[in-house]
Amino acid sequence: MVEAVLDQQAWRSRADAVAWDVRPFVDGALRESHAAERFAVRDPATGAVLHEVAAGDARDVAAAVASARAAFDDGRWSGLGVLTRKALLEAFIDAVVAQAEELALLDSLEIGKPISAALFDAQVLSPMFGRFCVESVDRLFGVVANTEPEVLAFSVAEPRGVVGAITPWNFPLVNAIIKVAPALAAGNTIVLKPSELAAASAVRLARIAVEAGLPPGVLNVVPGLGRTVGQALASHDDVDMLSFTGSTATGRLLMRSAGASNGKPLLLECGGKSPAVVFADADDLGAVARHICAEALHNQGQVCVSRSRVIVQDSIKGALLEALVEAARAYQPGDPLDPATGFGPLASREQWLRARDLILAGASQGHGPVLGDLTALSSHGGADMAPFVFSDLGRDNPLWREEVFGPVIVLESFSTPVQALALANDTAYGLAATVWTRDLSLGQAMARGIRAGEVTVRATAAEYEGPGFVLPQEGRKGSGFGSETGVEGLRSYTTWKKVEFHTARLA
Ligand code: NAD
């Protein structure tokens, strides 16, 4: 987390002074939505209405797509020299960092994200990803084929054209950057539809882009609802690609919309129910438990790769459960605007109710939690939720099977590695996994056997920087498909063309 320079009082004063303006940003300026319907966005920490947003409609989307189409077709972006495009994107990312406090505050207020975490997103994570995309432009190579000397045959990765992007609320700014940076770096133009819960930072981002020198029409943002704006974007015949992050159910709907319209290709980053598998040789169970909690409870558990299923070898089950309960107890909801807060409320009352219903359904089919207060769930009126830990609920229990997207850890035990692998793969999802063992042969077998897009084998809870965004990864099963990282992430936003020159022989 980034150390916030402002204190709680200063953030509160700034929060009171925010001038909310969450309108469509199309062709370089804020516009009025065509839709009359409006909805309120509330601060989940207080329940207070922050501002109202138009629900948006197909006319808003049509205007934004027309703007992106014109900007793509006239070459004001795709026709730029690569050095110029990179310089403009770098200026854009610098401007995001310069306005990180404003951007972080918007995210913090709209979804209750602790301000220190929101600052980390704006000052560290977003620019890190954005800069990786800018650097990757130089690695988008085609190949030259081996041919007769009179033939020159090569492949070129061209931008797809107009990209439609739809994002969720859990990391509003980061999710926006993860779509915008690779799409623009590869030479596309974009229409972004952020989550209805948290659209303010995305609209601000579009303004920052134009102020930083990106031509108008290159980055357009249409706030609004999924069933209005999202649906219209996914069904639009002039959108050349749809890049989505969100739930598996919505992702599958979008596949239908894409198929029923122009057959646009999709990149889908959907839900997860990722495991942390702990073998008996794992070192220092206290450190392991703290690390598992950090991975499962970060952002109040509202993270797609949250390791929310703990799968533990039976000989250490009691010890690990005890350590997990102790570690999870430390996560207590605080005021998101207090820089010392590391754990806030859930993103909305609706998200709280969804998580509550799943917890009650799971508990009613199994038994009570080892940590967590079920009675507090019936009386509570806000969005705060302290962590729950459940053990031995069984593999049919909804808390084992379904993504809660809240602070809930479920634990099951195994005796052999084969059973561990079966439990790890006992899910409709396949995003991520962690395997705790010092036996690297066992770790290798597990890493290759787990059907997920990323697996970390840990002999230690020590923190390393790791590879950043250099390596590609791709969801399995219900978690979607297509890579957003690595050079392959940029490549997702391009399409191959084969070009041949057949030239005359010298006489
Ligand atoms: P969601 O699917 O409800 O909404 C995501 C986006 O889709 C929002 O912008 C929403 O307005 C839009 N949408 C909803 N219905 C639509 C429709 N019918 N047509 C078009 N657009 C529609 O998801 P959420 O609740 O915002 O986010 C939580 C989900 O996102 C979780 O499942 C989580 O795992 C997933 N997620 C995945 C990743 C990843 O990288 N794999 C990252 C973050 C979140």
> Which mutation among 250, 252, 299 tests ligand 1's pocket best, with the greatest number of atoms within 8 A of CB?
250
Can you name the residues that pair with 411 across neighbouring β-strands? 310, 391
CA-closest residue to ligand 1 atom 18: 227
Does residue 269 have an active-site annotation? yes
Q: Is 125 left (phi over 0), alpha (psi -120 to 50) or beta?
A: alpha
CA-closest residue to ligand 1 atom 30: 246
Question: How many angstroms does the Cα of residue 215 sit away from the middle of ligand 1?
Answer: 29
C-alpha to C-alpha distance for 267 and 481, rounded to whole angstroms? 6
| Residue showing tokens 């991975």 | 295
CA-closest residue to ligand 1 atom 26: 168
CA-closest residue to ligand 1 atom 16: 226
Question: How many angstroms does the Cα of residue 151 sit away from the middle of ligand 1?
Answer: 48
C-alpha to C-alpha distance for 127 and 136, rounded to whole angstroms? 14
CA-closest residue to ligand 1 atom 43: 304
C-alpha to C-alpha distance for 78 and 72, rounded to whole angstroms? 6
C-alpha to C-alpha distance for 455 and 432, rounded to whole angstroms? 6
* Cα dist from 135 to 46, 83, 206, 241, whole Å: 41, 11, 21, 23
C-alpha to C-alpha distance for 454 and 472, rounded to whole angstroms? 9
CA atoms within 13 A on the CB side of 67: 26
Question: How many angstroms does the Cα of residue 269 sit away from the middle of ligand 1?
Answer: 9
- pLDDT of 150 reads 97
- pLDDT of 1 reads 60
Question: How many angstroms does the Cα of residue 248 sit away from the middle of ligand 1?
Answer: 8
CA-closest residue to ligand 1 atom 13: 226
Mark the ranges of the chain whose per-residue pLDDT is less than 70: 1-4
Q: What digits encode the pLDDT tens for the residues 305-359?
A: 999 999 999 999 999 999 999 999 999 999 999 999 999 999 999 999 999 999 9
Q: Domain-by-domain residue ranges, the chain?
A: 57-271, 275-469
Through-space distance between the first and last CA atoms of the chain, rounded to whole angstroms: 69
207, 214 Cβ separation under 8 angstroms: no
* Ligand 1 interacting residues, C-beta cut-off 6 A: 166-170, 193, 195-196, 225-227, 230-231, 234, 245-247, 250, 253-254, 269-272, 304, 403, 405, 431
Question: How many angstroms does the Cα of residue 272 sit away from the middle of ligand 1?
Answer: 12
> Which mutation among 61, 166, 302 tests ligand 1's pocket best, with the greatest number of atoms within 8 A of CB?
166
C-alpha to C-alpha distance for 390 and 154, rounded to whole angstroms? 57
The catalytic position among 196, 269, 295, 403 is 269
Query: Which amino acid belongs to residue 45?
Result: A
Which atom of ligand 1 is least distant from the CA of 166? 9
Question: How many angstroms does the Cα of residue 254 sit away from the middle of ligand 1?
Answer: 11
312, 278 Cβ separation under 8 angstroms: yes
Question: How many angstroms does the Cα of residue 427 sit away from the middle of ligand 1?
Answer: 19
Which atom of ligand 1 is least distant from the CA of 168? 26
Which atom of ligand 1 is least distant from the CA of 246? 30
Query: Which amino acid belongs to residue 408?
Result: V
DSSP-derived secondary structure letter, 354 = H
With CA atoms as reference, report the closest residue to 70 among 60, 81, 79, 82: 79
* Helix 100-111 and helix 200-211, axial crossing angle in degrees, nearest 10: 160
The catalytic position among 110, 304, 403, 484 is 304
- What lies within 8 Å, CB to CB, of 151 at 6+ separation is 500, 501, 502, 503
Which atom of ligand 1 is least distant from the CA of 251? 2
Q: What digits encode the pLDDT tens for the residues 389-432?
A: 999 999 999 999 999 999 999 999 999 999 999 999 999 999 99
- The CATH code belonging to domain 57-271 is 3.40.605.10
Q: CA angle, 259 as apex, 225 and 223 as ends, to 5°?
A: 15
- pLDDT of 378 reads 81
Class of domain 275-469: alpha beta
With CA atoms as reference, report the closest residue to 184 among 170, 201, 205, 163: 163
What Rg value do the Cα atoms of the chain yield, rounded?
A: 24
Q: Is 424 left (phi over 0), alpha (psi -120 to 50) or beta?
A: alpha
475, 481 Cβ separation under 8 angstroms: yes
